[in-house]
Chains A and B, each alone.
Chain A
Amino acid sequence: MSREEDFRLLVEPEIPVLLRVARSLAGNSRDAEDLVQETLINAFQGIDNFDGKYPRAWLFTILRNNSHNVWRKKKPDYVEDWNLTQGSRPAFNAEPPRTPEEEVLSGVIEPTLLNAVNALPEEFRSTLILVDVEGFSYAECAQILGVPIGTIMSRRSRAVAKVRKSLLKAREEAVRG
């Protein structure tokens, strides 16, 4: 098998996870696809630097560097992105149907939650999205962002505290009317 074919077989199964990580870093699905596209190109060009051991970790590093270089200045917009994906909502379709009360409740909570996440400083936000939304472990998240696990823990702890505060405030305002 050719070297090119080896590369393709190694990298192709990682595309979905790369897209999820890219969405967490870039803040929306459109930029995520571009970011992964660039990552694949850079990986292919830099294949000589790859030791053949942990393709996912290697790809995460390239993805992270690309996101720093290109996407840092962009303002992420989870609100817009999640609104765009509301139509399909496969994650929600998998759950039992909601009662009308739950629909109302989620209508109140979701935009507030998205706004709270959007308002977080970048590092807090990406950590929170990776761990809580995308379900990565602390160790995976540390690897993706290139920081120690302790940093992930403290960022996440503070991010959850901030989001909780925003939700409490919104709830108070809703009660007051």
Chain B
Amino acid sequence: MKISEVMSMPECHWVKSHLTQYLDRDPSAPLTDAELRRLEVHIALCDKCAAVSEDYRETSKALSQLRTHVDQESINRLSDSLKRLTSGE
């Protein structure tokens, strides 16, 4: 790929549309080696996409910190009601 192609607008668009997939590395949606290289080369050269990538990473991290545990009392109440349900009460 020529540098003019790497830095083109359509390339930025392609990179942005694959960013979450790239950052997640989810096994059920793997990128090909060629796609991985294409993303890494572009992000290394394009400040804009590098910034977006960093924002996505931060957003994702902030969201993961919102996680709260499920309430044990809630679990207990549902377990009890399951017991009643299956004992025909």
Q: Which residues of A line the B interface, CB within 8 A?
A: 4-5, 7-8, 11-12, 15-16, 19-20, 23, 29, 32-33, 36-37, 40-41, 44, 82, 85, 88-92, 95, 109-110, 113-114, 117, 128, 131-135, 137-139, 142, 149, 153, 156-157, 160-161, 163-164, 167-168
Q: A33-B78, A149-B29, A164-B56 are in contact. Are A135 and B64 (CB under 8 A)?
A: yes
Q: Which residues of B line the A interface, CB within 8 A?
A: 16-17, 19-21, 24, 26-29, 52, 55-56, 59-60, 62-71, 74-75, 77-79, 81-83, 85-88
Q: A20-B70, A157-B17 are in contact. Are A133 and B63 (CB under 8 A)?
A: yes
With the chains together, A117 CA to B81 CA distance in Å?
32
With the chains together, A40 CA to B86 CA distance in Å?
10
How far does the Cβ of B73 sit from chain A's closest Cβ, in whole Å? 9
Q: A40-B85, A167-B59 are in contact. Are A156 and B68 (CB under 8 A)?
A: no
Interface residue SS majority, chain B: helix
With the chains together, A135 CA to B69 CA distance in Å?
12
With the chains together, A160 CA to B24 CA distance in Å?
12
